[in-house]
Chains A and B, each alone.
Chain A
Amino acid sequence: GENVEQHPSTLSVQEGDSAVIKCTYSDSASNYFPWYKQELGKGPQLIIDIRSNVGEKKDQRIAVTLNKTAKHFSLHITETQPEDSAVYFCAASTTGNQFYFGTGTSLTVIP
């Protein structure tokens, strides 16, 4: 099955700086890559997603890039704010049902 690796496991940045989280996947058939933000005591919230026919997608301060050849995708958050502090998960899917998640990145934005 698919294996998704996520790095780093923890990330601390100063407010206003950028944060980058990277994921790799193993199954070349994966074609959908969502990113979720999970705050303490809550379920994961979709923040951005990308499909395999697109190399980059941006939504305000958040962007995702996908390199199908290298089988990796990244989340970029610019101008970070304290409310961006949370755990972020990447995921990959091939079939439409099973999402394979990374192990998460705990992001702390220091005011």
Chain B
Amino acid sequence: QLHLQESGPGLVKPSETLSLTCTVSGDSITTSDYYWGWIRQPPGKGLEWIGSIYYSGNTYYNPSLMSRVTMSVDTSKSQFSLKLSSVTAADTAMYYCGRLSFRSNGPGGQCDYWGQGTVVTVSS
């Protein structure tokens, strides 16, 4: 059974960098069948795709966040990570990692497994 677990600081100061890690267990992160993604949900609002990464390191980012987002993958640890720089209060959200079906020409398809999420608050 696939399991994804987000981890990272729950509180980040404005203008600093948010860093989160997703640990994958129950399946190989190097499978060619999937992308791995980050999705967030501000309090009381809907879901927003942040970006997707393939085990090779190929990435796609949401254009609205692209200038501040960096994703990476560590296959030896079965982890992928998110860095979001210059955060503001608008970045306060629940952050989810997920598994996305592979597509040869895009950032993955349906998200068929979700982590439980981790809350990140941006505040001084």
Whether both chains belong to one complex is answered with: no
> Interface of B with A (CB < 8 Å)?
none
